[in-house]
């Protein structure tokens, strides 16, 4: 959540900061601001409630000179969204300016103490408390700015990624992190800072990811130095970014979400490329190879995730229990971390996260690690925190996902989880050779089948138009398609703001059936499989109560077509891959309805792409 950018070098900082903030808009925010270190060691701060475009209009023709600067997009936690609470924040004497992602949990205690010492605060934020604390330590202790920051960070509790500039040290930028991501890009005699790599890739591919409780001192003349908050030197580890700049552009599509829906054939192919070969009859995930024996002998698998990734975990429960015959529990990370869960050393904990930075999932991992479990990560962002704290794992290779509502990240998570279940099932001998080969063939055919499905987008748009004014919607599925009903409902809620609920179709009679009338659209995943006849019965129950039925069916189906108001066909496929295929039309329905309702599809209100605070 929130976004940080920073620059120090020989170029004009302002355009780099503004472009960087624009690249970070997908993270979700409600205000934006920048600070520029200018001539005569003056720091000029501009900040504005609203979008980055509102900030640039506010700045207008003001002086934006300077080759050192920091910027921020804020998602409100402490204090409402307004100009005063927007970042950057300055110290009482005006010499220090700071941007911050995260939450300082003990800010109230610190603030009361600082007020006693004569500090006056302008905002309601925890961030302003931190910059005043650094100022207080620097003045009273007579230490350097770096040392004051180090001491301050030892006094605060919570999560932070901070970047600080000082009017008294115009050739430096100082940054630090704990439980909130921060990356440093290294150019020719210049440095870029950001919450993730998207603002940096345009300028350099060489980056350093700060680890928790590390402080980076970037000096225009002396380069990069890293220390820990316990004051030990750390050698920077430089990595090369894999993403391409064109992946961050819309490529002719109206919205990033639509582009990312259409990228799914390529993304899924990239997810299994080099990992699965149906012709040769094998599947192998290099990231977990060294742990396959331990996974195969696991007492149980615990999957922890949030939001859409949790839905991927629910599908994975069917995959692992069916193919590998290992018991699976799927947990909301936000609940799991605050329970007193029973975790054994022979348990495998799988964390699923697009960003690899989800705060609740990271906290749940730390809990599981302390109890000796094997930790695996399924993430999209290379170098992310979850990928570094887990024992092993697999990247999804979806490429950057800019739209807040997850699309290709979800289907590639399902792809990787399916391959993992196949590999472990094969290892355990719990899947026949015939079924193993059949499912390899089905996986390999997925990209072509999704391409075929996307050719029906115009028809799906026509169907969507019928329900753009709905107030509520119900999504039904059975078996491994039940989590897809949950995901379809979540997508509609996220971007169109229509209330929607996903349910197991058989549970409809236990409450939701009371809601059904002639105004209620009911989306049903009714593809061929073991539950098909039961689903037809559920559809008849809806029809008897005048509900409007939109059914996702297997190509050529005639039974459901007679009952439903509209049917959307997906290519004939094994039940194993239906969750992936059935997701595509539900994504398109949500997208088209949201566009027709005039919603901000890529940046829905109140939401952030990466939830890095509680």
With contact defined as beta carbons under 8 Å apart, do 314 and 482 qualify? yes
Catalytically annotated residue among 111, 172, 493, 609: 609
Looking at residue 350, its pLDDT comes to 95
Q: Cα dihedral angle (183, 185, 186, 189), rounded to 10 degrees?
A: -120
Determine the 3-state secondary structure of 188 from DSSP.
coil
Average pLDDT over residues 21-35: 86
Q: Any catalytic annotation for residue 306?
A: no
User: Residue 521 has what pLDDT?
Assistant: 92
How many residues in the chain? 614
Helix (H, G, I), strand (E, B) or coil at 61: coil
The Cα-based distances of 572 to 437, 518, 575, 608 in angstroms read 17, 31, 9, 36
What's the pLDDT score for residue 508? 73
Average pLDDT over residues 586-598: 96
This prediction has a pTM of 0.76
pLDDT band at residue 609, thresholds of 50, 70 and 90? low
Residue 246 above 60 pLDDT?
no
Q: Does residue 468 carry a catalytic annotation? A: no
Catalytic: which of 2, 48, 172, 599? 2
Over range 23-46, report the average pLDDT: 87
CA 19 to chain centre: 21
Task: Please give the average per-residue pLDDT across 22-35, as a whole number.
Answer: 85
pLDDT for residue 565: 92
**What are the chain's domains?**
3-241 (3.60.20.10), 249-444 (3.40.50.10490), 455-602 (3.40.50.10490)
Tens-place pLDDT, residues 426-469: 999 999 999 999 999 999 999 999 999 999 999 999 999 999 99
Residues in contact with 188: Cβ distance below 8 Å, sequence separation at least 6, in sequence order: none
Query: Closest Cα to residue 417, out of 529, 330, 478?
Result: 330
Instruction: Output b/e per residue, 125-148; b: 16+ Cβ within 10 A.
Output: bbbbbbbbbbbbbbeeeeeebbbb
Distance of alpha carbon 353 from alpha carbon 301, whole angstroms? 17
Q: What is the pLDDT of residues 390-411, one digit of tens each?
A: 999 999 988 888 888 899 999 9
For residue 239, the model assigns a pLDDT of 84
Check: CB of residue 362 under 8 Å from CB of residue 315.
no
Q: 228-242, 531-545, 571-585: which has the minimum mean pLDDT?
A: 531-545
d(CA 441, CA 446): 9
Q: How is the beta sheet containing 68-74 ordered, strand by strand?
A: 42-49, 31-38, 68-74, 3-8, 191-194, 183-186, 206-209, 238-240
What's the gap between Cα 283 and its chain centre?
27
Going by pLDDT thresholds of 50, 70 and 90, the confidence category of residue 488 is: very high
Query: Is there a contact between 531 and 479 (Cβ–Cβ < 8 Å)?
Result: yes
Measured from the Cβ of residue 458, the count of other Cβ atoms closer than 10 Å reads: 7
Is residue 111 exposed (0-12), middle (13-18) or buried (19+ Cβ within 10 Å)?
buried
Q: What is the pLDDT of residue 248?
A: 62
Confidence (pLDDT) at 514: 75
pLDDT band, residue 46 (cuts 50/70/90): very high
**pLDDT over 60 at 338, yes or no:** yes
């Amino acid at each position: 959540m929130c976004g940080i950018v920073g620059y120090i070098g020989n170029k004009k900082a302002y355009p780099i900061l503004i472009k960087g903030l624009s690249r970070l808009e997908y993270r979700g925010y409600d205000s934006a601001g920048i600070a520029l270190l200018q001539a005569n060691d003056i720091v000029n701060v501009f900040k504005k409630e609203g979008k980055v475009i509102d900030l640039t209009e506010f700045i207008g023709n003001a002086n934006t000179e300077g080759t050192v600067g920091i910027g921020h997009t804020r998602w409100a936690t402490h204090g409402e969204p307004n100009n005063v609470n927007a970042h950057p924040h300055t110290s009482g004497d005006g010499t220090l300016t700071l941007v911050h992602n995260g939450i300082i949990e003990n800010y109230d205690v610190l603030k009361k103490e600082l007020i006693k010492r004569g500090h006056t605060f302008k905002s309601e934020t925890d961030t302003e408390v931190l910059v005043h604390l650094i100022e207080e330590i620097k003045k009273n202790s007579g230490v350097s700015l770096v040392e004051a920051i180090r001491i301050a960070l030892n006094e605060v509790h919570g999560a932070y990624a901070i970047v600080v500039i000082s009017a008294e040290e115009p050739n430096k930028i100082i940054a630090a992190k704990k439980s909130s991501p921060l990356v440093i890009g290294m150019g020719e005699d210049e440095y870029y800072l950001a919450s993730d790599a998207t603002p940096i890739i345009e300028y350099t591919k060489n980056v350093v990811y700060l680890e928790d409780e590390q402080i980076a001192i970037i000096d225009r003349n002396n380069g990069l130095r890293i220390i820990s908050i316990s004051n030990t030197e750390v050698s920077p580890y430089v990595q090369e970014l894999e993403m391409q700049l064109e992946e961050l552009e819309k490529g002719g599509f109206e919205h990033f979400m639509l582009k990312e829906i259409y990228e799914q054939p390529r993304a899924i192919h990239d997810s299994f490329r080099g990992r699965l070969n149906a012709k040769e009859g094998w599947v192998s995930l290099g990231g977990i190879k060294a742990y396959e024996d331990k996974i195969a002998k696991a007492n149980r698998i615990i999957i922890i995730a949030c939001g859409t990734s949790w839905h991927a975990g629910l599908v994975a429960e069917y995959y692992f229990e069916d193919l590998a015959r290992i018991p699976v529990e799927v947990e909301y990370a936000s609940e799991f971390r605050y329970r007193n869960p029973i975790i054994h050393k022979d348990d495998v904990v799988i964390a699923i996260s697009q960003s690899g930075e989800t705060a609740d999932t990271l906290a749940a991992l730390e809990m599981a690690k302390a109890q000796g479990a094997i930790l695996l990560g399924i993430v999209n962002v290379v170098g992310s925190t979850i990928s570094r704290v887990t024992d092993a794992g697999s990247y999804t290779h979806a490429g950057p996902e800019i739209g807040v509502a997850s699309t290709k990240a979800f289907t590639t998570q399902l792809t990787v989880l399916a391959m993992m279940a196949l590999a472990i099932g094969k290892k355990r001998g719990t899947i026949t050779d015939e079924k193993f080969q059949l499912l390899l063939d089905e996986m390999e055919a997925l990209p072509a089948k999704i391409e075929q499905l996307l050719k029906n987008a115009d028809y799906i748009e026509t169907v969507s138009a019928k329900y753009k004014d709905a107030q509520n919607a119900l999504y039904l599925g059975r078996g491994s398609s039940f989590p897809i009903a949950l995901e379809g409902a979540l997508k509609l809620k996220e971007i169109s703001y229509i209330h929607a609920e996903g349910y197991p179709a058989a549970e409809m009679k236990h409450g939701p059936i009371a809601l059904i009338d002639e105004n209620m659209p009911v989306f049903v995943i009714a593809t061929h499989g073991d539950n098909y006849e039961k689903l037809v019965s559920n559809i008849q129950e809806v029809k008897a109560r005048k509900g409007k039925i939109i059914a996702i069916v297997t190509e050529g189906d005639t039974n459901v077509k007679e009952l439903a108001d509209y049917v959307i066909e997906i290519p004939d496929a094994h039940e194993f891959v239906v969750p992936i295929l059935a997701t595509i039309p539900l994504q398109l329905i949500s997208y088209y309805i949201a566009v027709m309702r005039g919603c901000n599809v890529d940046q829905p209100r109140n939401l952030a792409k990466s939830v890095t605070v509680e």
